[in-house]
Amino acid sequence: MTDTTAAATTTSGAIAAGLATITTEGAVLDTWYPAPRLDEAPGSAGTERLSPEQAAELLGEHAAGAVGPDPARGVEVVAVRTVISGLAENPLDAHDVYLRLHLLSHRLVRPHGLSLEGIFGLLANVAWTSAGPVPVDRVEQARLAVRAAGGHLAVTSVDKFPRMTDYVTPPGVRIGDADRVRLGAHLATGTTVMHEGFVNFNAGTLGVSMVEGRISAGVVVGDGSDIGGGASIMGTLSGGGKEVVSIGERCLLGAQAGIGISLGDDCVVEAGLYVTAGTRVTLPDGSVVKARELSGAHNLLFRRNSTTGAVEALQRTGAWGGLNAALHQHN
Ligand SMILES: CC(C)(COP(=O)(O)OP(=O)(O)OC[C@H]1O[C@@H](n2cnc3c(N)ncnc32)[C@H](O)[C@@H]1OP(=O)(O)O)[C@@H](O)C(=O)NCCC(=O)NCCSC(=O)CCC(=O)O
Ligand SMILES: O=C(O)C1=N[C@H](C(=O)O)CCC1
Ligand SMILES: [Mg+2]
C-alpha cells in the first residue's frame, strides 16, 4: 500500500487477485483484493476464476482454506483474478467495481481518479454479517445455521457497500467507528475519523485531517482541515445537488455547520451556519452575492451575524489554531 496516492492516470488500468462471494444464483456479493496494483498495460478487462494452484500462487497458501461452498449462507467463495484495462472506462461488473473501491481505499487512486459510472446497478444489496456477506433473502437461514453451531449472527448493515476496514485497513489513520467509513473511502495518513464522522466512497482526505462530520460521495478535503462535529458537506447523489464540493487546505468547518459550495484554502465556517449555493452573503463593502460566487475562494470566514441575522463573508485574519498535532502524529 503506498501513501502518496499516485494521481491515477486515467489511461492506466489495474490487476488484482481476490476472493469473491457468489450466491447459488450467480450474484457477486463482494470481492476482496488484498494487494491490488495499477498497471499501464494490464491486458483485457474481465474476471476469471483461478485454479487452486493459481490461487495459492497469487493469494498465498491459505487461499485453499478460504474457498469453497458455505451452505449456511447459500454462497460459494471462489478465487478470482480481475483486470481493469482502463480506469476511465466504466465498470463492467461487481468484481470490477470492488477492485475500483479497493484502489481508492488503498490510496492507489484519488477520488475522481477513476470511473464509477453505474455502480449502484452493478452492486448487490447485501447483509453484512459476522459470518460474512449474506444474500438479504437468506439472513434467517444463516442466522439459524450460525445459532445451531453455538454462535450468534450479527448483521452490521444491509447495504451495497461494506465498511472499509473489513476489506482495507490503511496505516496511519484512526477510525472511531468502522461502520462510518464505506469501502471506497480515501483516508490519507494522519486522518482521524471520530465516531460522528462519516466518509463515503470516492471521497475523503488528502492529508492530515480531523473528521467529525460527514464527507459525502465525491467530496475531497485538503491537508490540515478539520470537519467539526456533526458538520455536513453536501453531496450530489440525491437531493438535486450538482456541484461536487471540495474543501481546501487548513479549513475549519465548525461543529454542526454545513457547506454547499467549495472552500478554498484557509477558510472557516462558523459553528452551526449552513452555507448553501444560493445563500445571499454580505461582503465587507456591504454588497451582497450568492455564495456560489465565492466557491473556491481562499481565506474567508463565513458567519451568521448574531445581531442582524445576515450571513457574512469576512476576509480572515489570524489563525483558527489549526489541528492539534498530538491527535494526529501518532496515528
Ligand atoms: C465563527 C468563529 C470562527 C469566530 O471565532 P473567532 O475566535 O474567530 O472570533 P471571536 O474571538 O469569537 O470573535 C471575534 C469578533 O467577532 C465577533 N463575532 C464572533 N462571532 C460573531 C457572530 N456570529 N456575529 C457577530 N459577531 C461575531 C465577536 O464578538 C468578536 O467581536 P470583537 O472583535 O468586537 O470582540 C467561531 O465562533 C466558530 O464558530 N468556530 C468554530 C469552532 C468549531 O466548531 N470547531 C469544531 C469543533 S468539533 C467539536 O467540538 C465536536 C463537538 C460536537 O460534536 O459538536
Ligand atoms: O482524535 C481524537 O481522539 C479526538 N478526541 C476528542 C474527544 O475525544 O473528544 C475530539 C477530537 C478528536
Ligand atoms: Mg457500530
Please check whether residue 202 lies inside any domain of the structure.
yes
Q: Are 108 and 2 within 8 A, CB to CB? A: yes
| Tally of domains within the chain | 2
Same domain, 295 and 172: yes
Q: Is residue 6 part of a domain?
A: no
Name the more confident of 243 and 165. Answer: 165
Question: How do strand 246-247 and strand 232-233 relate by DSSP bridges?
Answer: unpaired
Specify the residue with its C-alpha closest to ligand 1, atom 2: 270
Is 199 in the same domain as 314?
A: yes
- Same domain? For 286 and 219 the reply is yes
Is 212 a residue of the active site? yes
216 and 298, same domain (yes or no) = yes
Q: pLDDT band for position 318 (50/70/90)?
A: confident
Q: Which of 207-211, 212-216, 236-240, 282-286 has the lowest mean pLDDT?
A: 236-240
* CATH code (residue 71): 3.30.70.2010
Does pLDDT of 4 surpass 80?
no
Question: Within a domain: residue 125?
Answer: no
Q: What is the pLDDT of residue 240?
A: 83
The pLDDT value recorded for residue 10 is: 57
Residue 302 and residue 205 share a domain: yes
Residues 188 and 291 in one domain: yes
Q: Are residues 323 and 214 in the same domain?
A: yes
Band (pLDDT 50/70/90 cuts) for residue 8 is: very low
C-alpha cell at 89: 472506462
Whether residue 89 is annotated as binding a ligand: the answer is: no
Model confidence at 3, pLDDT cuts 50, 70, 90, reads: very low
In three state form, how does the secondary structure of 23-64 look? ECCCCEEEEECCCCEEECCCCCCEEEECCHHHHHHHHCCCHH
Please tell me the pTM assigned to this model. Answer: 0.95
The verdict on whether residue 229 carries a ligand-binding annotation is yes
Are 104 and 220 within one domain? Answer: no
* Arithmetic mean of pLDDT, 178-204: 98
Instruction: Please tell me which residue in 25, 40, 57, 212 is annotated as part of the active site.
Output: 212
> Does residue 142 lie in a domain region?
no
Between the CA of 142 and the centroid of ligand 3 the distance, in Å, is 21
| Residue 155 neighbours by CB distance under 10 Å | 15
- Closest CA relative to residue 320, chosen from 246, 232, 255: 255
234's enclosing H/E stretch is none
The interface pTM score, or ipTM, of the predicted complex is 0.93
Residues 180 and 318 in one domain: yes
pLDDT of amino acid 11: 66
260-305: per-residue pLDDT in tens?
Answer: 999 999 999 999 999 999 999 999 999 999 999 999 999 999 999 9
Q: 59: domain range?
A: 13-120
Each residue's pLDDT tens digit, 89-121: 999 999 999 999 999 999 999 999 999 999 999
Spell out the alpha helix ranges (H) of the chain.
52-59, 63-66, 94-105, 119-122, 139-148
Mark residue 323 as left, alpha or beta (left: phi above 0; alpha: psi -120 to 50; beta: remaining): beta
Our measurement of the distance from residue 231's CA atom to the centroid of its chain's CA atoms, rounded to an integer in Å, reads: 17
Domain assignment present for 19: yes
Q: Consult the annotation and say whether 147 binds a ligand.
A: no
Phi, psi values for residue 210, rounded to 5°: -105, 120
Look up residue 179 and give its three cell numbers: 461502520
Question: Is residue 2 pLDDT above 70, yes or no?
Answer: no
The CATH number assigned to the domain holding 242 equals 2.160.10.10
As a whole number of angstroms, the distance between CA 327 and CA 211 comes to: 12
Q: Is 128 a domain residue?
A: no
The CA-CA-CA angle for residues 266, 269, 273, to 5°, reads: 170
pLDDT digits (tens, 9 = 90+) for 42-92: 999 999 999 999 999 999 999 999 999 999 999 999 999 999 999 999 999
| Cell numbers at 82, concatenated | 480481475
Do residue 181 and residue 291 come from a single domain? yes
Query: Is residue 153 situated within a structural domain?
Result: no
Do both 48 and 115 map to the same domain?
Answer: yes
Same domain, 181 and 317: yes
CA-proximal residue: ligand 1, atom 51 (nearest): 229
What SS3 state is found at 145?
Answer: helix
Domain end point (choices 90, 120, 150): 120
For residue 302, is it within any domain?
A: yes
The pLDDT of residue 34 is 98
> Grid coordinates standing for 101?
473501491
Residue 4: Cβ-neighbour burial (10 angstroms; 0-12, 13-18, 19+): exposed
Is it the case that residue 320 has pLDDT exceeding 90? no
Whole-angstrom distance, CA of residue 87 vs CA of residue 10:
6
